[in-house]
Amino acid sequence: IAPADMWRINCAAFLLCEGARPPFAPVLVRLVAQSPSPVIETFCQLVPILVHGADSRLEKGGKVLVSMEKNNHRWREGTILARHGGEAGEEFELQLDPAGTTRQPAARVLPFSDAGGVGALLREAAVVGSDEVVEGLCDIAGVCVREADGEATTALHEATRCGHKRVVDALIARYSEADGQVAMRFTCNRSARRPLDNLFGYQHSALLRSTKPSEADKDFGNSKLYDARLRRERERKREER
């Protein structure tokens, strides 16, 4: 790391010691995202050392949000009792709050934290659009790609809302193929919005094929071309009338 960049590491270390709580997470990510690659790598190495719970993989005793049905925005809080793997995929046995137990597939279980932490860093990196920070947090710091806030909003929700294709691709690459499709199409947050809804709602047409490339990508790869195509279709229909 160049001596001129050491102040970035020192500032990042100080803010990480504060727990990456709001408003520190946005400041941290914006500080690091504008830095050279060695600074980003060092930052991601510091995260699991300085932030409690940085290794946010789904383990026994972890706090989670649970959706009892696919495509359901009514999330319940719970705690992991056991983790099971099999040919049909990973499942979790959960203690629900305030009472009851259930067993659900991994796609319906999100680790979460209301108090910032590593999940807040990942979501903020998705907002900023830094795929390098996203990859470093997932691969070096061990942040779970499904980490959510109390509203069940994940980094994939934020990346699709802001229209950052490279970040969306980086996040999807860290899901399994099946889980990536589920996350994009069926994971509603508590506002009943899926990542796929954000692509349409915020008019990010260039991202429509991020999870399923095809020969038609040349038509969707440029939002201006796509919008022009829609205008031509509307004009043609008006002329036919």
Q: Is residue 240 part of a domain?
A: no
- CATH code, 77: 2.30.30
Q: For residue 33, which of 118, 112, 109, 133 has the smallest C-alpha distance?
A: 133
Q: For residue 171, which of 156, 193, 149, 187 has the smallest C-alpha distance?
A: 156
Please check whether residues 159 and 183 belong to one and the same domain: yes
Counting other chains too, the contacts that 173-177 makes at CB distance below 8 Å and 24 or more residues apart are 174/138, 174/145, 175/145, 175/146
Element (H, E) at 172: helix 165-172
In the chain, how many domains are there? 2
Please check whether residues 34 and 129 belong to one and the same domain: yes
Can you give the residue range of the structural domain that contains 36? 3-53+116-198
Strand partners, 92: 83, 104
Distance of alpha carbon 185 from alpha carbon 62, whole angstroms = 25
- CATH code, 48: 1.25.40.20
Please check whether residues 94 and 176 belong to one and the same domain: no
pLDDT in tens, 64-97: 999 877 767 889 999 999 988 765 578 899 999 8
Q: Is residue 241 part of a domain?
A: no
Q: Is residue 233 part of a domain?
A: no
Residue 173's pLDDT is what?
Answer: 87
Residue 217's pLDDT is what?
Answer: 47
Q: Cβ atoms within 10 A of the Cβ of 48, count? A: 18
Distance of alpha carbon 27 from alpha carbon 50, whole angstroms = 16
Q: Which portions of the chain are predicted below pLDDT 70? A: 52-57, 71, 86-88, 115, 177-178, 209-234, 237, 240-241
Please check whether residues 40 and 69 belong to one and the same domain: no
Report pTM: 0.82
199: which residues sit within 8 A by CB, 6+ positions away? 160, 205, 207, 208
Please check whether residues 184 and 127 belong to one and the same domain: yes
Please check whether residues 136 and 23 belong to one and the same domain: yes
Please check whether residues 95 and 125 belong to one and the same domain: no
Of the candidates 76, 111, 146, which is a domain's last residue?
A: 111
Residue 221's pLDDT is what?
Answer: 44
Q: Is residue 191 part of a domain?
A: yes
